[in-house]
Chain A
Amino acid sequence: MRIDAVASPTRYTVFFAVESYESAVEELRPLTERHWQEVALNQDKVKLSPVWERYEELARQGILRVIVARNSSKQPVGYIVALVMPHLHYRELLTAYVDIFFLLPEARNGMTGAMMFAFFESEMRRAGVRLMLSGTKLKLDLGKLFEWLDWTESDHLYQKLLD
């Protein structure tokens, strides 16, 4: 199944595509800022400062996968970034570790988010991925969406900021 576009109700038609990190990164940077503002914890203590050169390196190594959602004006409205590599514990298990995902609030109406993940899954299947792993913020819990998309809840993630 391939999902190349979804008519998101009312204002948006959103298209999904796999894009190269190099071609997409400059356009996605402003979205990462909004993403951080919406969901990041400890914003007063930890500022957004991605290690872009590490992302570049992962892209060069063929590990990084970037899915970009664009509106009908070709402006980016969302993304899923994942690392695709063999699972460290299971050599034969090609695994997609979702690093980040985001949709601008104004692009969330209707099925856009679900279709973005459906597109991601179709691309991962095409790439031979057998396991997809993603977290979800408790602050913006997408557990029901993952459950509907047939993902299984498997872990809880804890954090402790050491100041």
Chain B
Amino acid sequence: MGQPLDERVIGLVAEEFGVDASELSREMRLEDLGVDSLDLAGLMLAIDREFGLRIEPVEAASLETLGDLATLIYTEVCASTL
């Protein structure tokens, strides 16, 4: 069985932003990570590579929490393959 989606997303965020995954949670707000557009671009490119999902900037701007990001990926990628 593969790694749960939330863990994969949090793992990617941790890797891209150079933070410990144990410090991240679904409830954490992206704004609290202190990242800028360049950081977020790196994350979105990593998500594209990992999940084959391109998230447009306007769509990314509407995401508030890491949970929102995981839910979007689940909705667009995982659910569509059911």
B58 and A9 form a contact (CB under 8 A): no
Is chain A's interface secondary structure helix, strand, loop, or mixed overall? mixed
Q: Give Cα distance in the complex from A23 to B47, angstroms.
A: 41
Q: From residue 108 to 163 of chain A, which have CB atoms closer than 8 A to chain B? A: 108-115, 118, 142, 144-145, 147-149
B30 contacts across to A, CB distance below 8 A: 9, 110
Q: In angstroms, how far is the closest chain A Cβ from the Cβ of B51?
A: 15
Shortest beta-carbon distance, B54 to chain A, in Å? 9
A3 within 8 A of B: yes
* C-alpha gap A111/B30 in the complex (Å): 10
Interface string of B20-36 (1 = CB under 8 A from A): 00000000011100111
Please name all residues of chain B whose beta carbon is closer than 8 Å to the beta carbon of A148 when the two chains form the complex: 40-41, 44-45, 57
CA distance A108 to B38 in the complex (A): 9
Interface size, chain B (Cβ < 8 Å): 17
A114 touches B31 (CB 8 A): no
- Which one of A3, A6, A115, A142 contacts B38 once the chains associate, using CB atoms below 8 Å? A142
Q: When the two chains form their complex, are residues A115 and B61 in contact, meaning their CB atoms are under 8 A apart?
A: yes
A9 to B30 alpha-carbon distance, docked (Å): 8
Residues of B within 8 A of A142 (CB): 38
| Alpha-carbon separation in the docked complex, A9 to B37 (Å) | 11
Contact of A42 with B by CB under 8 A: no
| Interchain CB contact under 8 A, B31 and A115 | no
Residue B52 is within 8 A (CB to CB) of chain A in the complex: no
A110 to B41, CA, bound (A): 10
Instruction: Take A1-B58, A144-B45 as given contacts and tell me if A113 and B31 are in contact as well, using a CB distance cutoff of 8 Å.
Output: no
Q: Does A73 reach chain B (CB closer than 8 Å)?
A: no
Residue pairs across A and B with Cβ atoms less than 8 A apart, 30 shown, are A9-B29, A9-B31, A108-B36, A108-B37, A109-B31, A109-B34, A110-B30, A110-B31, A110-B37, A110-B61, A111-B37, A111-B61, A112-B37, A114-B41, A114-B57, A114-B60, A114-B61, A115-B37, A115-B58, A144-B42, A144-B45, A145-B37, A145-B38, A145-B41, A147-B41, A147-B45, A148-B40, A148-B45, A148-B57, A149-B57
User: Which residues of A come within 8 Å of B, CB atoms?
Assistant: 1, 3, 6-7, 9-10, 108-115, 118, 142, 144-145, 147-149
- Which residues of B come within 8 Å of A, CB atoms? 29-31, 34-38, 40-42, 44-45, 57-58, 60-61
